[in-house]
Amino acid sequence: MLSTRVITTGTLSKTLGQFATSGLLVRGTNCVLLQQHRAFSLSSKPFFNSSQRNKVAETEVKNLKEFRERSWPHPVYSEQEMKDIGLAKFWYQVIAHRKAKDWSDWVALSAVRFFRRAFDLVTGYKHDKQIALGNKNPNTTDAFHMTPDKWLARFIFLESIAGVPGMVAGMIRHLHSIRRLQRDQAWIETLLEEAYNERLHLLTFLHFRQPGWFMRMMILGGQGVFFNTFFLAYLISPRTCHRFVGYIEEEAVITYTRAIADLDNGRIPEWSNLRAPDIAIKYFNLKPDAVMKDILMVIRADEAKHREVNHTLANLQQTEDPNPYALTYGNRNKPHPTKGLEFTKPIGWERTEITVKPSD
């Protein structure tokens, strides 16, 4: 006769716990060996104590710093080199401009002028032509005034778009190199470095202002349209695309030059002693006490360099010529393309000017 024994829930849990502790769980006539594991804790006790957490945090910061130091280093510009980008004349700066010479140049220039007008409309930017011509004092009360927020909105939108061409061109040339099983003549590195540089410009300005939903939607839409348009255009005519970017960078130099002029004229007092963020100080190799003007000066220098690089690349044979900014020149005192501002050519180096000879 079988006897029945009622086991309460508490007793069952205790019994199963004893079996689990011993590593055995009886199910019918089968015996299953269980491997003991530490159970997950639902308590609020941290896995690391405070000293361990601090040690981990310090290690992560150190690793991040070491990683950043291995990224593309930013060239060091002298103060005079940055000032020489624009030549002072009355109230404005004379900015170098490359004249269109053929249909490809005209297509690129016309596209830039169209996008410039649309960009001015989106960012609420306009500049009094009489001020630019030196016929009107920019400090008068009736002159149009760009507020700090308007300047930052323009910078953020500009840099969010400016980071696209280098990445698209580098990606296409990277895929071409893989597909054709050929070297790319060192163009990819320069193009990706340009995109990286523009992204750091954007991250710097985001330290001063976070855009609202409208600007974010404009950036999203602008990037989507521009990325695909530039992608298709680069497949058709990379030379025209590089000329297009060269003209865009001309406009960027004008924008930053006017912002610097407004700052110098006291029209943006909020930026007079505005300290530069750490990301800008470390990346641009600025002084520890750098301010907003230092940021604008070095970013304008970067845009001027991008202007030169893209105009130069547009002057070359796209599939045959090596990247002149990756070459080693024997006579370093002779003017030649460089990553810095030692030898500048605002409208780009012509192909005949950068042919490397054995005697160089």
**What is residue 290's DSSP assignment?**
-
Does 191 reside within a domain?
A: yes
Any idea which of 52-66, 192-206, 276-290 has the lowest mean pLDDT? 52-66
Does 24 reside within a domain?
A: no
Out of 131-145, 299-313, 324-338, 344-358, the most confident range is 299-313
Instruction: Give me the pLDDT at residue 214, please.
Output: 87
Confidence of residue 28 (pLDDT cuts 50, 70, 90): very low
| SS3 state at 268 | coil
For the chain, the domain total comes to 1
Instruction: Give me the pLDDT at residue 40, please.
Output: 37
Confidence of residue 130 (pLDDT cuts 50, 70, 90): low
Q: Are 303 and 312 in contact (CB under 8 A)?
A: no
Confidence of residue 89 (pLDDT cuts 50, 70, 90): very low
d(Cα 24, Cα 17) in Å, to the nearest integer? Answer: 10
pLDDT in tens, 242-256: 999 999 999 999 889
More confident residue, 226 or 18: 226
Does 28 reside within a domain?
A: no
Instruction: Give me the pLDDT at residue 7, please.
Output: 47
**What is residue 134's DSSP assignment?**
T
d(Cα 206, Cα 156) in Å, to the nearest integer? Answer: 7
Is residue 31 pLDDT above 70, yes or no? no
State which amino acid sits at residue 280.
A
Does 4 reside within a domain?
A: no
Q: Are 203 and 282 in contact (CB under 8 A)?
A: no
d(Cα 75, Cα 298) in Å, to the nearest integer? Answer: 10
In this prediction the pTM is: 0.75
How much of the chain is in helix, strand and coil states, percent to nearest 5?
60, 5, 40
Question: What integer best gives the mean pLDDT of the chain?
Answer: 78
Q: Is 198 annotated as a binding residue?
A: yes
Does 17 reside within a domain?
A: no
Question: Mind giving me the DSSP string for 59-119?
Answer: HHHHHHHHHHHTSPPPPPPPHHHHHTTSEEETTEEE---PPP-SHHHHHHHHHHHHHHHHH
Is residue 86 pLDDT above 50, yes or no? yes
Q: What are phi and psi of 181, to 5 degrees?
A: 60, 40
Does 119 reside within a domain?
A: yes
Confidence of residue 4 (pLDDT cuts 50, 70, 90): very low
- What is the percent of the chain with per-residue pLDDT over 70, rounded to a whole number? 70
Q: Count Cβ atoms within 10 A of the Cβ of residue 44 and give its class: 0-12 exposed, 13-18 middle, 19 or more buried.
A: exposed
Any idea which of 49-58, 209-218, 286-295, 308-317 has the lowest mean pLDDT? 49-58
Does 233 reside within a domain?
A: yes
Confidence of residue 35 (pLDDT cuts 50, 70, 90): very low
Does 280 reside within a domain?
A: yes
More confident residue, 192 or 121: 192
More confident residue, 274 or 2: 274
> What residue numbers bound the domain in which 347 lies?
77-353
**What is residue 291's DSSP assignment?**
B
Q: Is 250 annotated as a binding residue?
A: no
Is residue 341 pLDDT above 60, yes or no? yes
Q: Is 308 annotated as a binding residue?
A: no
CATH code for the domain of 251: 1.20.1260.140
Q: Is 303 annotated as a binding residue?
A: yes
Out of 2-11, 99-108, 254-263, the most confident range is 99-108
Q: Is 66 annotated as a binding residue?
A: no
Q: Is 320 annotated as a binding residue?
A: no
